[in-house]
A and B are shown apart, each in its own frame.
Chain A
Amino acid sequence: MSVVTTTNLTRRFGPITALDRLTVELPAAGVIGLVGPNGSGKSTLIRILLGLIRPTSGNASVLGSAISSPAHYAARVGVLVESPAFIPGLSARANLVSLARLRHLPLGRVDAVLAQVGLVGRDREPVKRFSLGMKQRLGIAAALLSDPELLILDEPTNGLDPAGIVEIRELLRDLGREGRTVIVSSHQLSEIEAVCDHLVVIRFGKLVFSGPMAEMMKRTREHIDIAAEHAADMERLEVALVAGGWAVTAVDDVLRVAAAADRAAELNRAAAGAGVTLSRLVFAQDNLEEIFLEMTGRVDGELANGRAAVEEKVA
Chain B
Amino acid sequence: MIAAVRSELTRLRQPRLLATWFGLMTLFAVMINTVMITFSTGGGSVPPGAPGVAFPTLAELESPSGLMSGLAAASSMFGVVTLSIWAVVTASDYGSGLIRLLVAAEPRRWRLLAGKIVALVILTAAATTVAAIVNVLAAFPLAGAAGISTAAWGTDLVSVVAGAWVNLFLALCVWGVLGLVIATLARSAAVAIAIGVGYVLVVESIIKMLKDVPSDWLLGTILNAVAAGGTAAVAYGTALAVGFGYVTLGLVLAGAVFIRRDVTD
Contact = CB atoms under 8 A, between A and B. Distances in A.
Nearest to A142: B101
A86 B7 contact: no
Contacts of B10: 90, 94, 97-98, 101
B221 to A, nearest CB: 36
Given A74-B104, A77-B104, A94-B10, A102 B98 contact: no
A53 interface: yes
B256 interface: no
Given A85-B97, A89-B15, A74 B263 contact: no
Nearest to B260: A54
A87 B98 contact: yes
A74 B102 CA distance: 11
Contacts of B4: 102
Contact of A85 (B6, B98, B108, B262): B98
Contacts of A81: 97, 100-101, 104
Contacts of A263: none
Contacts of B96: 85-88
B104 A103 contact: no
B3 A102 contact: yes
A101 B14 contact: no
A58 B64 CA distance: 68
Given A52-B263, A86-B98, A102 B14 contact: no
Interface of B: 3-4, 6-8, 10-11, 13-17, 92, 96-108, 262-264
Given A47-B263, A104-B3, A87 B11 contact: yes
5 contacts: A51-B103, A81-B104, A82-B97, A88-B96, A98-B10
Nearest to A69: B107
Nearest to A103: B105
A79 interface: yes
A281 interface: no
Contacts of B13: 90, 94
A54 B109 CA distance: 14
A52 B104 contact: yes
A216 to B, nearest CB: 29
A308 interface: no
A85 B3 contact: no
A70 interface: yes
B97 to A, nearest CB: 4
Taking residues whose C-beta sits less than 8 angstroms from the other chain, chain A's interface range is: 20 to 34
Contacts of A95: 11
A103 B102 CA distance: 10
A52 B112 CA distance: 14
A103 B4 CA distance: 8
Nearest to A75: B105
Interface in A123-144: 142
A304 interface: no
A82 B100 contact: yes
A260 B103 CA distance: 52
A66 interface: no
A71 interface: yes
A90 B11 contact: yes
Contacts of A146: 105
A95 B14 CA distance: 11
Given A98-B7, A101-B6, A54 B98 contact: no
B107 A71 contact: yes
Task: Point out which of A97, A101, A103 has the most chain B C-beta atoms below 10 A from its C-beta.
Answer: A101
A74 B98 contact: no
Nearest to A98: B10
Given A51-B104, A79-B101, A89-B17, 13 more contacts: A47-B264, A52-B103, A71-B108, A74-B106, A74-B107, A77-B104, A79-B100, A79-B104, A82-B100, A85-B101, A88-B96, A98-B8, A99-B101
A101 B8 CA distance: 9
A177 B263 CA distance: 32
A50 interface: yes
B112 to A, nearest CB: 8
B16 A89 contact: yes
Contacts of A54: 262
A83 interface: yes
A11 to B, nearest CB: 9
Contacts of B92: 87
B183 to A, nearest CB: 16
Contacts of A74: 104-107
Contacts of B16: 89
A297 to B, nearest CB: 26
B105 A102 contact: yes
A53 B262 contact: yes
Contacts of A94: 10-11, 13
